Amino acid sequence: MKTTIHDDQDKLIALSRRQLWAALGTVLVLASAAVSLLAFPGAAAPARLFSLLPVAIVLAVAALKTGGRRGAPTSAELRALVDDELRQASQHRASRNGFLAVLAAQAVLVPALAWLPTPHPVALMAVLTIATGLATFLASLLYHDR
């Protein structure tokens, strides 16, 4: 039984969405571990949180492998996915939302970290800013994409 081009594109889009979910999960696990290590440097809980990272990686790889597709997608299929106007519009919206989230995070983090007695406020602000921007971008791309 032959599959149509439309089915192949749907499978490629599903794979792309699974990759975005895996990236979002990895960003959230890494950010929460880094924030907990910076905010509470003497606690044992952050070290345990980093032990979840290999589990998250294994789950992400397993989720990406269960696509049911054999072989790598051709460059023509990838080019069609990248050149899709709706996908490009979704990426532009997600970029804008991520940028606005980073700007809003600055306005919240500066007074919060100035008032809270944290041992590494600059590093904590950098981690929270990067995590906010990436998480907002990926979540927004997942929301706006087909």
pLDDT value of residue 1: 45
Share of the chain above pLDDT 70, in %: 80
Share of the chain above pLDDT 90, in %: 27
DSSP 101: H
Average pLDDT (105-129) is 89
Number of domains in the chain: 1
Per the structure, the complete domain to which residue 42 belongs is given by 5-144
Full-prediction pTM beyond 0.85? no
Residue 92 pLDDT grade (very low, low, confident, very high; cuts 50, 70, 90): very high
Torsion sign across C-alpha atoms 86, 88, 89, 94: positive
pLDDT value of residue 146: 64
Residue 3 pLDDT grade (very low, low, confident, very high; cuts 50, 70, 90): low
SS3 70: coil
> Per the structure block, which two tokens stand in for 22?
């895996």
Residue written as tokens 């149509």?
A: 4
Average pLDDT (10-21) is 82
Average pLDDT (41-60) is 72
